[in-house]
Chains A and B, each alone.
Chain A
Amino acid sequence: MSLIHKTAAELGRLVAAREASAVEVAQAHLDRIAEVDGEINAFLHVEAESVLAQARAVDERLARGERPGPLAGVPVAHKDVFATADMPTTAGSKILEGWRPPYDATVTRRLREAGLVILGKTNLDEFAMGSSTENSAYGVTHNPWDRSRIPGGSSGGSSAAVSAYEAPLSTGTDTGGSIRQPAAVTGIVGMKPTYGGSSRYGLIAFASSLDTPGPFARNVLDAALLQEAFSGHDPLDSTSIDAPVPPVAEAARQADVAGLRVGVVKEFGGDGYQPGVLARFHEAVELLESLGAKVVEVSCPSFTYALPAYYLIAPSECSSNLARFDAMRYGLRVGDDGTRSAEEVMALTRAAGFGPEVKRRIMLGTYALSSGYYDAYYGQAQKVRTLIMRDFEAAFHQVDVLVSPTTPTTAFPIGERADDPMAMYLADLCTIPSNLAGNAAISVPCGLADEDGLPVGLQIMAPVLGDDRCYRVGAAVEKAYESRWGGPLLAKAPAL
Chain B
Amino acid sequence: MADTATLMPYDEALERFEPVLGLETHVELGTGSKMFCGCSTTFGAPPNTQVCPVCLALPGSLPVANEKAIESTIRIGLALNCSIATWCRFARKNYFYPDMPKNYQISQYDEPLCTDGYLDVEVDGKIVRVEIERVHLEEDTGKSTHVGGATGRIHGADYSIVDYNRAGIPLVEIVTKPITGTDRLAPEVAKAYVTELREVMRSLGVSDVRMEQGSLRCDVNVSLMPRGSTEWGTRTETKNVNSLRSVERAVRGEIERQAAILAEGGRIVQETRHFHEDTGQTTSGRSKEEAQDYRYFPEPDLLPIAPDPEWVASLKAALPELPSVRRKRLQQEWGVSDLDMAAMHNADAIDLVEATVAAGAPAGDARKWWMGELARRANEAGTALADLPITPGDVAKVTELVASGALNDKLARQVLEGVLAGEGTPDEVVEKRGLRIVSDEGELSAIIDQVLADNADAADKVRGGKIAAVGALVGGVMKASRGKADAGRARELILEKLGVQP
Contacts and interface: CB of A to CB of B under 8 A. Distances in A.
Nearest to B294: A371
Interface stretch (A34-42, A143-151, A195-203, A423-431): A195-203
A236 B60 contact: no
B297 A378 contact: yes
**Residue among A102, A200, A208, A328 with max Cβ neighbours from chain B (10 Å):** A328
Interface string B126-151: 00000000000000000000000000
Given A238-B303, A366-B295, A369-B297, A205 B64 contact: no
A159 interface: no
A201 B303 CA distance: 15
Contact of A103 (B53, B94, B102, B297): B53
Contacts of B62: 200-201, 236-238
B59 A324 contact: yes
A82 B60 CA distance: 7
The interface residues of chain B, by DSSP majority, are classed as loop
A201 B60 contact: yes
Nearest to B56: A329
B280 interface: no
Contacts of A208: 300-301
B103 A101 contact: no
Contacts of B162: 328
A238 B301 contact: yes
Interface string A92-105: 00001001011101
B290 interface: no
B96 A239 contact: no
Given A323-B103, A323-B104, A370 B293 contact: yes
Interface residues of A, number: 44
B94 A323 contact: yes
A320 interface: yes
A96 B58 CA distance: 11
Interface string A346-357: 100000000000
A174 interface: no
Contacts of B58: 83, 101-103, 329-330
B455 interface: no
B197 to A, nearest CB: 30
Contacts of A366: 295
Interface string A217-231: 000000000000000
B60 A342 contact: no
Interface of A: 82-83, 89, 91, 96, 99, 101-103, 105, 200-205, 207-209, 235-239, 316-317, 319-320, 323-326, 328-330, 342-343, 346, 366, 369-371, 374, 378
Interface of B: 53, 56-65, 92, 94, 96, 98, 101-104, 160, 162, 293, 295-297, 300-303
29 contacts: A83-B58, A101-B58, A102-B58, A103-B53, A201-B61, A202-B60, A236-B62, A237-B64, A238-B62, A238-B63, A238-B301, A316-B297, A317-B297, A320-B104, A320-B295, A323-B103, A324-B103, A325-B59, A328-B162, A329-B57, A329-B58, A330-B58, A342-B160, A366-B295, A369-B295, A370-B293, A370-B295, A371-B293, A378-B297
